[in-house]
Amino acid sequence: MNQKVTTFVVFTTGQIGKACKVAPRTVGKWHDSGALKGHRLPGGRDRRFPLDSVVSFLFENGMETHLNALAVLMESKKMLLGPLVDLLIEQEMPQKELTAFLVMHRIEHPELNPRTEDAKAA
């Protein structure tokens, strides 16, 4: 049985701002304009943005260069990078850039590197 585990990863305005090298207020403006999908927490001004919304926003706005900073942020928070890699594949990131991303973050992904499956079977 091969079931996919879903992980819900969310970010704050500050985390996205740091990854994109903008002020948290700018991230709030992206959200207010509807460009970045997310939600406000009840009873406050705080906002949260799901990983898939952040990745879609970066691709739609030509900001893919900030994906590495996002991955570093995720690693520093002990978050798994698997959901991010799955979204990059879903966004059809060019193979050369995706491979460089995987190498940079020392990620092995069986769908992209069949040799890892062959080595396990041997």
Residues in the chain: 122
As a whole number of angstroms, the distance between CA 20 and CA 14 comes to 10
Least Cα distance to 101 among 116, 89, 118 occurs for 89
Read off the pLDDT of residues 65-76 as tens digits, 9 standing for 90 and up: 888 888 888 888
Average pLDDT value for the chain: 82
Read off the pLDDT of residues 89-115 as tens digits, 9 standing for 90 and up: 888 888 888 888 888 888 776 666 544
